[in-house]
Amino acid sequence: MKKIIIPLFLFVFFIVVSASLPCQNGAVSDLLPSSSLTLRYEGEELLFTYDDLTSLEAYAGNGGRLKVTGEVTGPFSYTGVRLLTFINQFDAPPASYKAVVVSEDGLVQTFTAAETAGDVMVYTTQGEENGVGGVTMMLAYKEEGATDFSGGPFRIAWVNTGQPVTDAFLWSKYVCSIDFFDDSSDTILPSLSLEKPVNGFYIFNRRIFPFITPVIFGGITVEVKASDASGIAQVLFVVDEELKAQDANAPYQWEWDEHVVGYHTLTVVTYDAAGNIQTQQQDLWIFNP
Protein backbone atom coordinates (compact mmCIF):
# COMPACT_ATOMS: atom_id res chain seq x y z
CA MET A 1 0.00 0.00 0.00
CA LYS A 2 2.85 2.38 0.86
CA LYS A 3 4.30 1.91 -2.64
CA ILE A 4 0.99 3.13 -4.10
CA ILE A 5 0.15 6.04 -1.79
CA ILE A 6 3.56 7.65 -1.67
CA PRO A 7 4.02 8.02 -5.48
CA LEU A 8 0.62 9.73 -5.74
CA PHE A 9 1.55 12.15 -2.99
CA LEU A 10 5.00 12.78 -4.39
CA PHE A 11 3.93 13.34 -7.97
CA VAL A 12 2.52 16.82 -7.32
CA PHE A 13 5.36 17.68 -4.95
CA PHE A 14 7.94 16.53 -7.50
CA ILE A 15 6.43 18.70 -10.25
CA VAL A 16 6.74 21.77 -8.00
CA VAL A 17 10.25 21.05 -6.73
CA SER A 18 11.88 19.54 -9.83
CA ALA A 19 11.82 22.84 -11.68
CA SER A 20 14.27 24.23 -9.13
CA LEU A 21 16.58 21.19 -9.06
CA PRO A 22 19.88 21.58 -10.88
CA CYS A 23 20.66 18.98 -13.55
CA GLN A 24 23.21 16.60 -12.08
CA ASN A 25 24.42 13.79 -14.31
CA GLY A 26 27.70 13.00 -12.54
CA ALA A 27 28.96 9.43 -12.87
CA VAL A 28 29.76 7.44 -9.74
CA SER A 29 33.53 7.61 -9.67
CA ASP A 30 33.75 5.18 -6.73
CA LEU A 31 32.29 2.28 -8.73
CA LEU A 32 34.95 -0.39 -8.96
CA PRO A 33 36.03 -1.27 -12.50
CA SER A 34 34.69 -4.62 -13.70
CA SER A 35 37.99 -5.49 -15.42
CA SER A 36 40.22 -5.31 -12.34
CA LEU A 37 40.64 -7.08 -9.01
CA THR A 38 41.86 -5.61 -5.72
CA LEU A 39 43.65 -7.79 -3.14
CA ARG A 40 44.23 -6.58 0.44
CA TYR A 41 46.16 -7.90 3.44
CA GLU A 42 47.57 -6.10 6.49
CA GLY A 43 47.34 -2.63 4.93
CA GLU A 44 48.90 -3.78 1.65
CA GLU A 45 46.72 -3.34 -1.43
CA LEU A 46 47.42 -4.91 -4.83
CA LEU A 47 45.53 -4.07 -8.02
CA PHE A 48 45.41 -6.61 -10.84
CA THR A 49 44.10 -5.96 -14.34
CA TYR A 50 42.80 -8.80 -16.45
CA ASP A 51 46.21 -9.11 -18.15
CA ASP A 52 47.94 -9.16 -14.75
CA LEU A 53 45.77 -12.07 -13.62
CA THR A 54 46.42 -14.09 -16.75
CA SER A 55 50.16 -13.68 -16.15
CA LEU A 56 49.92 -15.46 -12.78
CA GLU A 57 50.12 -19.25 -12.42
CA ALA A 58 47.00 -20.57 -14.14
CA TYR A 59 44.80 -23.30 -12.73
CA ALA A 60 42.19 -25.26 -14.67
CA GLY A 61 39.42 -27.67 -13.78
CA ASN A 62 35.74 -28.49 -14.03
CA GLY A 63 32.92 -27.47 -11.75
CA GLY A 64 29.15 -27.19 -11.53
CA ARG A 65 26.61 -25.45 -9.30
CA LEU A 66 23.73 -27.03 -7.37
CA LYS A 67 20.86 -24.55 -7.00
CA VAL A 68 18.41 -24.59 -4.09
CA THR A 69 15.80 -25.90 -6.54
CA GLY A 70 17.92 -29.04 -7.03
CA GLU A 71 18.86 -28.04 -10.59
CA VAL A 72 22.52 -28.48 -11.56
CA THR A 73 24.26 -25.94 -13.81
CA GLY A 74 27.30 -27.38 -15.58
CA PRO A 75 29.83 -28.75 -14.90
CA PHE A 76 31.85 -26.41 -17.15
CA SER A 77 35.57 -26.05 -17.59
CA TYR A 78 37.21 -23.07 -15.89
CA THR A 79 40.61 -21.40 -16.05
CA GLY A 80 41.81 -18.94 -13.44
CA VAL A 81 43.91 -18.42 -10.33
CA ARG A 82 43.83 -20.34 -7.03
CA LEU A 83 43.30 -18.41 -3.80
CA LEU A 84 46.64 -19.76 -2.54
CA THR A 85 48.38 -18.10 -5.49
CA PHE A 86 46.81 -14.77 -4.53
CA ILE A 87 47.95 -15.06 -0.91
CA ASN A 88 51.53 -15.63 -2.02
CA GLN A 89 51.54 -12.27 -3.82
CA PHE A 90 51.98 -10.56 -0.44
CA ASP A 91 55.37 -10.06 1.18
CA ALA A 92 54.44 -11.93 4.37
CA PRO A 93 51.43 -14.15 3.60
CA PRO A 94 49.41 -15.47 6.56
CA ALA A 95 49.91 -19.09 7.61
CA SER A 96 46.18 -19.43 8.30
CA TYR A 97 43.63 -17.01 7.00
CA LYS A 98 40.09 -16.01 6.16
CA ALA A 99 39.15 -14.60 2.76
CA VAL A 100 36.37 -12.05 2.27
CA VAL A 101 35.13 -11.93 -1.32
CA VAL A 102 33.29 -8.80 -2.50
CA SER A 103 31.24 -8.71 -5.69
CA GLU A 104 29.90 -5.82 -7.75
CA ASP A 105 26.33 -6.93 -7.02
CA GLY A 106 26.97 -6.23 -3.33
CA LEU A 107 27.41 -9.83 -2.20
CA VAL A 108 30.04 -10.27 0.53
CA GLN A 109 31.15 -13.75 1.62
CA THR A 110 33.72 -15.04 4.11
CA PHE A 111 35.64 -18.28 3.52
CA THR A 112 38.01 -20.10 5.86
CA ALA A 113 41.38 -21.43 4.74
CA ALA A 114 39.94 -24.96 4.95
CA GLU A 115 37.08 -24.00 2.66
CA THR A 116 39.38 -22.37 0.10
CA ALA A 117 41.34 -25.63 0.10
CA GLY A 118 38.16 -27.52 -0.77
CA ASP A 119 36.57 -28.43 2.56
CA VAL A 120 33.01 -28.07 1.26
CA MET A 121 30.24 -30.52 0.36
CA VAL A 122 30.57 -31.99 -3.13
CA TYR A 123 27.74 -33.51 -5.18
CA THR A 124 27.36 -35.69 -8.24
CA THR A 125 26.02 -34.25 -11.48
CA GLN A 126 22.66 -35.68 -10.38
CA GLY A 127 22.77 -33.53 -7.23
CA GLU A 128 23.50 -36.36 -4.78
CA GLU A 129 25.97 -35.84 -1.92
CA ASN A 130 29.41 -37.19 -2.75
CA GLY A 131 31.40 -36.34 0.39
CA VAL A 132 33.41 -33.34 1.56
CA GLY A 133 36.58 -32.10 -0.12
CA GLY A 134 38.38 -32.85 -3.32
CA VAL A 135 37.80 -29.45 -4.96
CA THR A 136 39.83 -26.25 -5.22
CA MET A 137 38.52 -22.70 -4.86
CA MET A 138 39.66 -20.43 -7.65
CA LEU A 139 38.95 -17.08 -9.27
CA ALA A 140 37.95 -17.98 -12.81
CA TYR A 141 38.53 -15.67 -15.77
CA LYS A 142 37.51 -18.18 -18.44
CA GLU A 143 34.54 -20.53 -18.74
CA GLU A 144 34.60 -23.14 -21.49
CA GLY A 145 37.54 -21.20 -22.93
CA ALA A 146 35.51 -17.97 -23.27
CA THR A 147 36.19 -14.69 -21.43
CA ASP A 148 32.68 -13.21 -21.86
CA PHE A 149 30.87 -15.76 -19.71
CA SER A 150 27.93 -15.17 -17.36
CA GLY A 151 29.06 -13.74 -14.04
CA GLY A 152 32.44 -12.67 -15.42
CA PRO A 153 34.97 -11.36 -16.02
CA PHE A 154 35.90 -12.81 -12.60
CA ARG A 155 33.90 -15.31 -10.58
CA ILE A 156 34.57 -17.80 -7.80
CA ALA A 157 34.50 -21.41 -8.98
CA TRP A 158 35.10 -24.75 -7.25
CA VAL A 159 36.81 -27.28 -9.51
CA ASN A 160 38.81 -30.45 -9.93
CA THR A 161 39.75 -32.76 -12.81
CA GLY A 162 36.48 -34.69 -12.58
CA GLN A 163 32.89 -33.40 -12.74
CA PRO A 164 32.28 -32.01 -9.23
CA VAL A 165 29.21 -30.01 -8.26
CA THR A 166 29.10 -27.66 -5.25
CA ASP A 167 26.40 -25.48 -3.70
CA ALA A 168 25.57 -22.47 -5.86
CA PHE A 169 25.75 -20.07 -2.89
CA LEU A 170 29.53 -20.69 -2.78
CA TRP A 171 29.93 -19.27 -6.29
CA SER A 172 30.36 -15.50 -6.26
CA LYS A 173 30.02 -13.65 -9.58
CA TYR A 174 31.33 -10.23 -10.69
CA VAL A 175 34.12 -10.41 -8.09
CA CYS A 176 35.96 -7.10 -7.63
CA SER A 177 38.01 -7.50 -4.43
CA ILE A 178 39.32 -10.08 -1.98
CA ASP A 179 40.51 -9.27 1.56
CA PHE A 180 42.70 -11.70 3.48
CA PHE A 181 42.79 -11.71 7.30
CA ASP A 182 44.74 -13.76 9.82
CA ASP A 183 42.51 -16.54 11.09
CA SER A 184 40.72 -15.61 14.29
CA SER A 185 38.24 -17.14 16.71
CA ASP A 186 36.37 -13.83 16.78
CA THR A 187 32.75 -14.43 15.69
CA ILE A 188 31.22 -11.22 17.09
CA LEU A 189 29.48 -9.21 14.39
CA PRO A 190 30.48 -5.57 13.99
CA SER A 191 27.97 -2.88 14.94
CA LEU A 192 26.41 -1.02 12.03
CA SER A 193 23.98 1.88 11.88
CA LEU A 194 22.70 3.81 8.87
CA GLU A 195 22.62 7.38 10.19
CA LYS A 196 21.54 9.12 6.98
CA PRO A 197 19.11 8.95 5.32
CA VAL A 198 16.50 8.10 7.95
CA ASN A 199 12.73 8.52 7.64
CA GLY A 200 12.05 12.06 6.49
CA PHE A 201 12.04 14.55 3.61
CA TYR A 202 15.47 15.61 2.33
CA ILE A 203 16.07 18.52 -0.03
CA PHE A 204 19.62 19.14 -1.25
CA ASN A 205 21.12 16.88 1.43
CA ARG A 206 19.17 18.47 4.28
CA ARG A 207 16.40 16.80 6.31
CA ILE A 208 13.42 19.16 6.30
CA PHE A 209 10.88 17.23 8.36
CA PRO A 210 10.06 13.63 9.44
CA PHE A 211 8.12 11.25 7.21
CA ILE A 212 7.19 7.55 7.17
CA THR A 213 10.06 6.74 4.78
CA PRO A 214 13.10 8.56 3.37
CA VAL A 215 12.15 10.84 0.45
CA ILE A 216 15.14 12.57 -1.14
CA PHE A 217 15.27 15.44 -3.63
CA GLY A 218 18.71 16.07 -5.09
CA GLY A 219 21.89 14.32 -4.01
CA ILE A 220 22.57 13.11 -0.48
CA THR A 221 25.51 12.14 1.71
CA VAL A 222 24.93 8.61 2.96
CA GLU A 223 26.39 8.34 6.45
CA VAL A 224 27.14 5.16 8.40
CA LYS A 225 28.45 4.37 11.86
CA ALA A 226 30.38 1.12 12.18
CA SER A 227 32.65 -0.24 14.89
CA ASP A 228 34.24 -3.45 16.11
CA ALA A 229 36.92 -4.42 18.62
CA SER A 230 39.04 -5.96 15.86
CA GLY A 231 38.61 -2.91 13.62
CA ILE A 232 36.44 -2.19 10.59
CA ALA A 233 37.97 -3.34 7.30
CA GLN A 234 35.45 -1.90 4.84
CA VAL A 235 32.02 -0.31 4.61
CA LEU A 236 30.18 -0.92 1.34
CA PHE A 237 27.38 1.14 -0.19
CA VAL A 238 25.02 -0.81 -2.47
CA VAL A 239 21.97 0.39 -4.44
CA ASP A 240 19.64 -2.22 -5.93
CA GLU A 241 22.34 -4.92 -5.89
CA GLU A 242 24.95 -2.66 -7.48
CA LEU A 243 28.08 -1.84 -5.49
CA LYS A 244 28.57 1.92 -5.64
CA ALA A 245 31.43 2.65 -3.24
CA GLN A 246 33.66 1.35 -0.47
CA ASP A 247 35.08 3.26 2.48
CA ALA A 248 37.77 1.96 4.81
CA ASN A 249 38.13 5.05 6.99
CA ALA A 250 35.75 6.70 9.45
CA PRO A 251 33.62 8.72 9.11
CA TYR A 252 32.08 6.28 6.66
CA GLN A 253 30.32 8.28 3.96
CA TRP A 254 29.32 8.19 0.31
CA GLU A 255 28.18 11.15 -1.79
CA TRP A 256 25.18 9.76 -3.69
CA ASP A 257 24.83 12.33 -6.45
CA GLU A 258 23.95 10.66 -9.74
CA HIS A 259 20.97 10.71 -12.07
CA VAL A 260 18.43 8.56 -10.23
CA VAL A 261 14.65 8.75 -9.89
CA GLY A 262 12.15 6.51 -8.12
CA TYR A 263 11.96 3.73 -5.55
CA HIS A 264 15.26 2.09 -4.61
CA THR A 265 16.86 -0.08 -1.93
CA LEU A 266 19.99 1.19 -0.23
CA THR A 267 22.10 -1.47 1.48
CA VAL A 268 25.13 -0.81 3.67
CA VAL A 269 27.48 -3.68 4.47
CA THR A 270 30.50 -3.80 6.74
CA TYR A 271 33.03 -6.48 7.64
CA ASP A 272 35.60 -6.42 10.39
CA ALA A 273 39.22 -7.57 10.55
CA ALA A 274 38.04 -11.06 11.49
CA GLY A 275 35.83 -11.39 8.40
CA ASN A 276 32.52 -11.00 10.27
CA ILE A 277 29.81 -9.35 8.16
CA GLN A 278 26.93 -7.07 9.14
CA THR A 279 24.24 -5.64 6.80
CA GLN A 280 21.46 -3.04 6.99
CA GLN A 281 18.88 -2.10 4.33
CA GLN A 282 16.68 0.95 3.76
CA ASP A 283 13.99 1.36 1.09
CA LEU A 284 13.58 4.94 -0.08
CA TRP A 285 12.36 7.34 -2.74
CA ILE A 286 14.88 9.58 -4.49
CA PHE A 287 14.45 12.22 -7.19
CA ASN A 288 17.72 13.56 -8.57
CA PRO A 289 17.14 14.37 -12.27
What is the pLDDT tens value at each position of the chain, 289 positions in all? 545 445 444 444 444 344 333 333 233 334 433 589 999 999 899 999 999 999 999 999 999 999 999 999 999 999 999 999 999 999 888 888 999 999 999 999 999 999 998 999 999 999 999 999 999 999 999 999 999 999 999 999 999 999 999 999 999 999 999 999 999 889 999 999 999 999 999 999 999 999 999 999 999 999 999 999 999 999 999 999 999 999 999 999 999 999 999 999 999 999 999 999 999 999 999 999 8
Residues 176 and 127 in one domain: yes
Residues 64 and 161 in one domain: yes
Residues 57 and 151 in one domain: yes
- pTM for the full model? 0.86
Residues 146 and 15 in one domain: no
212, 283 contact by CB (below 8 A): no
Segments forming the whole domain that contains residue 206: 2-30+186-288
In order of 46, 106, 116, 205, 283, the CA distances from 253 in angstroms are: 23, 17, 32, 13, 18
Residues 127 and 234 in one domain: no
Number of domains in the chain: 2
Residues 47 and 15 in one domain: no
Residues 141 and 204 in one domain: no
End-to-end CA, the chain: 26
Residues 41 and 178 in one domain: yes
Q: Is 2 left (phi over 0), alpha (psi -120 to 50) or beta?
A: alpha
